């Protein structure tokens, strides 16, 4: 039940991202809804769940947005692992500043991973497009990191409540079943 709900949440995010965010913000900082959902899930869920969801989300986004195959998926997996590791080891609290910094840091990590893998693809002639660091790129990353951080604040706390509801429901089923 919980996994199905998370997959539906990722599909809704994908639909919103493709249809609204990408058309609304053409070359301006975009809202990466799938990354936001994955960041929230990597904080509150077990690695098996959020890594599976990150893989599925990466494949969906690469298929529907015609992105380089594997770059988004690997970038999502790395971001989720790092966010989970940092949160479990060092951060650990759900306060406003920590969630905001997590959103900023994870967006920077995503763009760093994405650009490194794009350069590797370019190096081995897998793709012909050049993905470069320009002033415009830096503006886009900073803008998207800010937008993602703000939206994480609005999405994170409802996800914590939903996760708590599912955990109570699972305990109730174990006790009554």
pLDDT at 130: 53
Residue from 38, 23, 102, 24 nearest 72 by CA: 38
Residue 123, token pair as written in the block: 């190096």
Alpha helices in 71-134 (DSSP H): 71-86, 96-123
pLDDT at 69: 75
> Alpha-carbon distance 58 to 44, whole Å?
19
Residue from 102, 110, 27 nearest 76 by CA: 110
DSSP 17-35: IIIIIHHHSSSSPPP-HHH
pLDDT at 156: 74
The answer to whether the predicted template modeling score (pTM) of the entire model surpasses 0.85 is no
| Span between the terminal Cα atoms of the chain, in Å | 16
pLDDT at 133: 52
Q: What is the CA radius of gyration of the chain?
A: 17
pLDDT at 137: 67
| Structural domains of the chain sorted by starting position, each given as residue range(s) with its CATH number in brackets | 2-176 (1.10.1760)
pLDDT at 23: 64
pLDDT at 21: 61
pLDDT at 24: 63
pLDDT at 175: 73
Residue from 90, 87, 88, 74 nearest 152 by CA: 87
User: What are the distances in angstroms from CA 162 to CA 3, 5, 114?
Assistant: 12, 10, 30
pLDDT at 136: 67
Residue 9's CB is within 10 A of a number of other CB atoms, namely 20
Residue 120's CB is within 10 A of a number of other CB atoms, namely 12
pLDDT at 53: 87
Average pLDDT for consecutive 10-residue bins of the chain (177 residues)? 78 80 60 81 83 86 74 85 83 72 81 78 64 62 76 76 73 72
């Amino acid at each position: 039940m919980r996994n199905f709900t998370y997959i539906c949440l990722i599909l809704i995010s994908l639909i919103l991202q493709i249809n609204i965010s990408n058309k609304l913000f053409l070359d301006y900082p975009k809202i990466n809804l799938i990354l936001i959902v994955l960041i929230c899930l990597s904080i509150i869920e077990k690695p098996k769940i959020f890594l599976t969801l990150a893989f599925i989300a990466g494949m969906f986004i690469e298929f529907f947005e015609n992105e380089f195959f594997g770059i988004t998926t690997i970038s999502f997996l790395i971001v989720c692992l790092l966010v989970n590791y940092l949160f479990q080891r060092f951060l650990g609290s759900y306060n406003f500043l920590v969630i905001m910094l997590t959103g900023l840091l994870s967006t920077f990590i995503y763009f760093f991973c994405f650009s490194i893998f794009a350069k590797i693809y370019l190096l081995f002639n897998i793709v012909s497009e050049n993905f470069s660091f320009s002033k415009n790129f830096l503006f886009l990353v900073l803008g998207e990191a800010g937008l993602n951080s703000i939206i994480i604040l609005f999405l994170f706390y409802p996800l914590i409540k939903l996760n708590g509801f599912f955990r109570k429901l699972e305990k109730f089923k174990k006790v009554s079943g």
